[in-house]
Amino acid sequence: MKKTFAGIADPQSAAIEAGQSAAASDPKRFSRRDILTRSAGGVVAATAFGATPLRGYAAEPVNIGGLYPVTGSMAQIGQGCVNAAKLAVQMVNDAGGIKSLGGAKLNLIISDIQSDTTVTRTETDRVINGSKVSAIHGCYASALTLIASEVAERAKVPLITGSSSDQLNVNRRYTFTPFARASQFAQAQLQMARLVNEKPKVAVIFENTAFGTSTSNGLREKAPGEGVEIVLFEPYSAGFADASPLINKVKASGADMLFSVSYLNDLILIVRTIKQVGLKIGMNGGSGGFVIPDFYKTVGSLADGLQGVAHWNHDSDADAQKVNAVYQKMYGEFLFEYAGGLVAQTFMLADALERAASTDPQKVRNALAQLDVSSGYAAMCPGGKVKFGPDGKNIYGHPVGVQWQNGDLASVFPKEDARAPLMKT
């Protein structure tokens, strides 16, 4: 009998039980054959986790916590992360699980943090203390991840995350960030601006959150060294209803390039307002909402030609393209930045569990600290290498510049990571 892909009927369900029927939990069935043998771009099992028979007994599952906002203002993005997390766990389990633990399966414990900082704190504590997790991952928004990281550090449980705030690498021992940091995003944006204009004048607008302030501060600090003049540096309150005053300031600044450090809803409003006032300006939307499929779904062709940066993109390598093909078949859209990175993170955890041969969080933490991969799904990131430094940051981590081209997000910068030429606008 084929194994089916287990889902969550209730977004606040505590766990995905091992062997749970997909028909009972998720209307989208996903077979083992689909993930292991799909032709024409399907996923093949990771070499490092090839299927092997169990040792005649059912090993205890390994609990992994996943903290995402499945309700609240970030619900749609959070659900996409949950979908990717389930896909990744199925990939590991169908490839034989953790063989050093007798073929133990990963058991994903999902918690809805409701896009709320207070709920994030209580749910992180609940998952860690109530479920005997070996590690956790989350939480999309840096402001939420910083809180989860604080709780995880006190509990001495490793947390691996795609969140970009540089603060996550300050005074942490149990927090691991495999992808580019906010300050690196800033440098990439500045370098990309010079692809359009040799001496660009840039307006920077940013939401006043951990994500917005850390990224924008990086822009301001690095601009002189990159030959970029910042003519406007303007914060705004996230979730605003009218972008006109902000865009009028951009217009008056004389900028020929706009950097908007924003999540999805704010970014949509900003792009629409630029169109309404007739402002002709190049734009780099950074990360956040810019790299989400729903951005293009909402603004349509207004997005074509706009640039951004990401810590992961679905065209980055052959493994990413294979996983993306399966995800796109399941959910009707490409595997977006944070969700795609989450698949890679799950394989990093599987690698650490394999080498630790233990579910003990301290041993898993130590194994993560020694991670050094350059192939397979665990290395599925820009540059194709992951090795953590003493601060938990991937020493090879760097962003990739992306551009919306005919409804798809293409990698265009730097040269070694480009998968399509820059489209001139």
pLDDT tens-digit profile of 5-56? 333 222 223 232 333 333 333 433 334 333 333 322 222 233 333 333 344 4
Task: Give residue for tokens 């996943």.
Answer: 66
Q: How many CB atoms lie within 10 A of CB 5?
A: 25
pLDDT at res. 55: 44
Q: Phi-psi region for residue 156, left (φ > 0), alpha (ψ -120 to 50) or beta?
A: left
Fold agreement (22-180+315-394, 182-310+401-417): yes
- 262 — pLDDT class (breaks 50, 70, 90): confident
E-only strand ranges, 133-210: 135-138, 159-160, 175-176, 201-207
Top-level class of domain 182-310+401-417? alpha beta
Question: What's the CATH superfamily of 22-180+315-394?
Answer: Response regulator (3.40.50.2300)
Distance CA 115, CA 93 (A): 29
pLDDT at res. 8: 26
Q: Is the pLDDT of residue 104 over 80?
A: yes
pLDDT tens-digit profile of 49-85? 333 334 445 689 999 999 999 999 899 899 999 999 9
List the alpha helices (DSSP H) in 173-314.
182-196, 210-222, 244-253, 264-277, 293-299
Distances (CA, A) of 314 to 209, 311, 413, 420: 27, 11, 14, 13
pLDDT at res. 196: 82
Written as six digits, the tokens of 171 are 């005074």
Helix (H, G, I), strand (E, B) or coil at 403: strand
pLDDT tens-digit profile of 152-182? 999 999 999 999 989 999 999 999 999 999 8
Residue ranges per structural domain of the chain: 22-180+315-394, 182-310+401-417
Distance CA 423, CA 425 (A): 6
- 385 — pLDDT class (breaks 50, 70, 90): very high
Helix (H, G, I), strand (E, B) or coil at 62: strand
Distance CA 353, CA 292 (A): 31
Helix (H, G, I), strand (E, B) or coil at 61: coil
Task: Give residue for tokens 């991840």.
Answer: 145
Distance CA 22, CA 331 (A): 15
pTM of the model: 0.83
pLDDT tens-digit profile of 396-417? 999 999 999 999 999 999 999 9
- 286 — pLDDT class (breaks 50, 70, 90): confident
Distance CA 216, CA 173 (A): 26
Phi, psi of 409 (to 5 degrees): -105, 110
